[in-house]
Structure 1
């Protein structure tokens, strides 16, 4: 007897047909107990032997021929219809693990039934047995899942997440109906499973944005030096063709403008590379003290040229943070170089590395502070200092060969490292740029 329709028991309709032999096998223990009781009655209570034999035969016949409910029969454990309805089979799991992209298998109720290796690595909070909405909180994805369960048609969606950094994802959702199940797409039944495959589009989108931003920034910032170069070349080809003094002066200006173009291109490319990796937090241990010492040594010639002393305040030891060494060198170099150039009136720059205490007596995190004693920064400029090409004083920035991208690069590198940049300044009292790294 086959039980039709949906059932929480995945083998509810797969049973061995009932025969007298199978019924005797299934009821052998009650039969043995009954025969034993009849034998005891014949031996100890003088029950007639003929009556005892007849009772045993009657009991055996009842066991072999009287029908019982189907739930008492032995279930089939092999064959084409022995397919689990509520959990993915081994073949489906192996196939999901072979996919390079994160993949989830959920049932028609939205409960996650399997998570492949890539998904377990990239989405650590996702666990089988939890509702899909517990771990993947993108509303558009959950809405698409509901539509797939109702329409039994595949869907593709793209969405963006802004926390902790901007990231773009694409998901393909497909309904699965297992062979032999009572559900069918033609009747609009709820699928046995829904396959959710997620593709990370963040790098692709950042590449597209990088190309767009590079063209926009390059065309805007390179226009001035290119116009200067063109004008000087035309002058040297015309009125100043035979003027040696003018030629020498113009060639020096052209060399300076070409250097400005090179610095702009280098900074734009550096910013684009940092933005491309902004969603990937580095996890390599880096000694912050060694980074500071290396940077101070490399900026020594500039400090001597500007007649500014760099003083490093650090008790020594190991100031370890998780990060990318080259990028952290770029951060420290930008901060100290800005302090040297724009705070040179104070004749001193202090660089401090301080341990920040956490709960108990241990070190929770590290902080880097770069302080100059120059003219300071008016408060109305502080919120915009990390914008691209923003300059407090355009003329002084050009004199100091600044591109307006240094602090923008610092901000994006620190965002990737999950660190914070704080700026404290007031006119006439210098400025302090503080970097606070997160606890490991």
Structure 2
């Protein structure tokens, strides 16, 4: 039988149909009277005329609906739809319709906001953890120098050396964080300068020449003789290749070779056009494929202890990813245990 409240407001269906959010109307008999297509997609079809608990099963949401039907007071409630790794979060606004017994519910998908908040919490926790370790070491050594090692010159020199290393570690982390912040701020501003990638690659090779000599690593650059013209930010691309080359030298192992190879692709399937590929390949122990999808996450390390010993912050590849996003490029990683690793920078050539 038609609901008198709906008869008095014949435009309700038209209104909720026009709403961009999933929206439904619950009547005085606690049954669903109307819903728009978006609500049908979210909650299921054939719900009109059925009790609202048929579609709304979350306890907090059910309780909020029952309270609104009793006291006609607007409310907001949030709930989570559990789906394994793809949990969804919704903010629901409950609004009684004036001069009627109808209750209007609209659903706002807050999944992206929830994930962003989780990333923020994880980021703060990771930064705190990374800073706490060297700070704890510094505080411990300072206390020791003030007490038992006050008059021990040999111990004092050793502790001061360790303290200097820990301070430099914090300085590197803060520098990377500032660099990441700057890169993220510029990520949506496309570069406009034409440059020769050979110059950038040679400069990265020169900057790390001493590190390569210390590790007895032979860095071979094969870029041909013709200019490799791309549109890009020279300083940021230098940061990309310096980071990848430094990783290859450090983690590829001593007495090995690191190759830098450039090649053109007539059509990259992801960039949908011609592209330049720069391959940085090492002969190190390789990386288990299970780690590859997460290597560009902030603070993700395959071997955390060894990475910290070598001065790694866990932010380098995250910075690389953001810089390449700004250049409309991408990073491919190929590796298998015992067979080295290849980090391939792909940049568009359709400038």
Determine if contact 2:217/2:256 at 8 Å carries over to the other structure: yes
Which protein is bigger by CA-based radius of gyration?
Answer: 1
Determine which of 328, 332, 344 is the counterpart of 1:422: 332
Cα distance between partner residues in 1 of 2:207 and 2:222: 17
> Would you say 1:431 and 2:327 are equivalent positions?
no
Counterpart position of 2:294: 384
Determine which of 270, 280, 285 is the counterpart of 1:370: 280
Taking a change above 3 Å as real, the CA distance of residues 346 and 425 of structure 1, as seen in their structure-2 partners, is farther
> Would you say 1:402 and 2:312 are equivalent positions?
yes
Deviation at 1:210, TM superposition (A): 12
Cα distance between partner residues in 1 of 2:218 and 2:254: 11
Counterpart position of 1:234: 143
> Would you say 1:271 and 2:180 are equivalent positions?
yes
Deviation at 1:219, TM superposition (A): 2.6
Cα distance between partner residues in 2 of 1:419 and 1:316: 23
Cα distance between partner residues in 2 of 1:358 and 1:412: 23
Determine which of 321, 326, 339 is the counterpart of 2:248: 339
Determine if contact 1:424/1:433 at 8 Å carries over to the other structure: yes
Cα distance between partner residues in 1 of 2:127 and 2:224: 44
Structure 1 ranges of 4+ moved more than 2 A: 208-220
Deviation at 1:280, TM superposition (A): 1.2
Taking a change above 3 Å as real, the CA distance of residues 290 and 209 of structure 1, as seen in their structure-2 partners, is farther
Cα distance between partner residues in 1 of 2:252 and 2:179: 25
Equivalenced residues, count = 232
Determine if contact 1:214/1:268 at 8 Å carries over to the other structure: no
Taking a change above 3 Å as real, the CA distance of residues 434 and 366 of structure 1, as seen in their structure-2 partners, is same
Give the alignment's TM-score, normalised by structure 1: 0.50
Provide the alpha-carbon RMSD of the alignment: 2.4
Q: Deviations over 1:290-326 (max 9, x none)?
A: 1001110111010000000000112121111111110
Counterpart position of 1:330: 239
Determine if contact 2:216/2:254 at 8 Å carries over to the other structure: no
Counterpart position of 1:143: none
Secondary structure at 1:293's aligned position in 2? helix
Q: Structure 1 or 2: larger strand share?
A: 2
Secondary structure at 2:175's aligned position in 1? helix
> Would you say 1:223 and 2:132 are equivalent positions?
yes
Secondary structure at 2:333's aligned position in 1? strand
> Would you say 1:256 and 2:173 are equivalent positions?
no
Q: Which runs of 5+ in 1 are unaligned?
A: 1-138, 141-207
Q: Which runs of 5+ in 2 are unaligned?
A: 1-19, 22-116
Cα distance between partner residues in 1 of 2:160 and 2:220: 39
Asked which structure has the greater RCO (Cα within 8 Å, sep 6+), the reply is 2
Deviation at 1:284, TM superposition (A): 1.3
Q: Deviations over 1:92-128 (max 9, x none)?
A: xxxxxxxxxxxxxxxxxxxxxxxxxxxxxxxxxxxxx
